[in-house]
Amino acid sequence: MSRPRSREVLGVLKRDGARGLAQRAARVAYRRMGAADLENPLDFDNLTDSRGLKLVVPDRRPAKGTPLTIGWVSTPPAPGSGGHTTLFRMVEGLEAAGHKCVLYLYDRYHGDPGRHEQTIRRFWPKMRAEVRSVTDGLAPIDAYVASGWETAHLIASAAVPTRRLYFVQDFEPWFYPLGSHHVLAEDTYRFGFRAITVGPMLAHLLQEKYGVTAAVAEFGVDTGIYRLTNPDRRTGVVFYARRETARRGFELGVLALREFHRRHPDHEIHLFGDPNARVPFPATNHGVLRPAALAELYNRCAAGIALSFTNLSLVPDEMLACGMLPVVGQSGGYSEASIDNPYIGWAQPTPFGIADALSDAVGPDAPLPTVVAGSVRTTPWEVAQRVVVDVIEDEVYGY
């Protein structure tokens, strides 16, 4: 190693420690080995084009009321995944209605399906669906439900006679900058699948941009878990810190919390979602929390940041149910259409905008936790499940 390079390495080690040096080495190796290829969510052979799409669609089933077999195509879930939790709730709703469900997992990195199934059975024990791998092929069953843009391409490219639906939880083109992934995700809304959105924000977007009419499965709140247990006034704030999920606004939240800490050093800052997240101010990182532990944390704190730029998340309702004040980034009216609650702090999505809203939420004029918890909508998830059941049955039976 040359002397200049040695001095550079020693300088990094002195300034950033062994972790910083290892990060730089990994970054260099990532670039030199072309590891960016692994970021492509699909193989080229699985991609399709709405302009040349010819779907094989069977006739309607005349025997209304007979059990259906529904395939749900999804990426493998990680513990604590909110999107998978919502999807699996819908699977449970179909099962409760007497239908058979099969979960087809698409793993771009060809992980062991048995390992993924162990995760599913451990963290979502109520779901009984059989678990298969997409690599084993898609069977000609009554209907398939795509759960994301990658799985929409998979279902579209599969030459099986089936009804195709799309369970939309985020406006996924916004996951990416303008480029290949953005337009490939956008094109899935032109595939002609029957669409169901979680909340009205996405239904408005699909209608406005693509002329797609979608059924709306309203957000539910699990008040059996997320409920008020501490009616006292509290201190401290919470942030869902997910570095690798751009739509969660990690950097923006960190900048806002740094300013908030400067103004309110007496308030403890709590992070959850990523055990390795590091921030430039004192904070307690709780890592990945199960729902019951998360509800307990919410009942300790006064307010929290709930950023989600591609759809409203479940977090604001869950915070409200526990007596917390959520601070949510404004989205030009889209997110605001999905929830109407006077105790949400709609903030301009800038560091100072969010810090200002957090400061208001912990101020002396903030409402009591009992008042906040009493304002939460009490829509159970069974309402959304009923919508999904009705739409799938209508698509297959043809009422």
Which residues in the chain come in under a pLDDT of 70?
Answer: 1-5, 8-14, 20-22, 25-40, 62, 331-335, 337, 399
- Residue 85 makes CB contacts below 8 A (sequence gap 6+) with 124
pLDDT of residue 209: 95
Q: Rounded to an integer, what is the distance from CA 228 to the centroid of its chain?
A: 24
pLDDT of residue 45: 82
Find where tokens 């970021």 sit. 39
Smallest CA-to-CA distance from 260 within 345, 375, 376, 368 is with 345
Find where tokens 């009216």 sit. 333
Q: Residue 328 forms beta bridges with which residues?
A: 346
What is the CB neighbour count within 10 angstroms for residue 96? Answer: 13
Are 271 and 289 in contact by the 8 Å Cβ rule? The answer is: no
| Residue intervals in the chain for CATH 3.40.50.2000 | 237-374
Please, is 217 exposed, middle or buried when counting C-beta atoms within 10 Å of its C-beta (0-12, 13-18, 19+)? buried
- Residue 60 makes CB contacts below 8 A (sequence gap 6+) with 396, 397, 398
The pTM assigned to this predicted structure is 0.88
Q: Which helix (H) or strand (E) holds 360?
A: helix 351-361
44-220+382-397 under CATH 3.40.50.11090, yes or no: yes
pLDDT of residue 188: 97
pLDDT of residue 19: 74
pLDDT of residue 103: 97
Cα dihedral 266→270→275→278 (10° resolution): -40
Domain 237-374: top CATH class: alpha beta
pLDDT of residue 43: 79
Please, is 271 exposed, middle or buried when counting C-beta atoms within 10 Å of its C-beta (0-12, 13-18, 19+)? buried
| Residue intervals in the chain for CATH 3.40.50.11090 | 44-220+382-397
Mind spelling out the 3-state secondary structure of 47-101?
CCCHHHCCCCCCCCCCCCCCCCEEEEEECCCCCCCHHHHHHHHHHHHHHHCCCEE
Angle at 119 between CA 116 and CA 121, to 5 degrees: 110
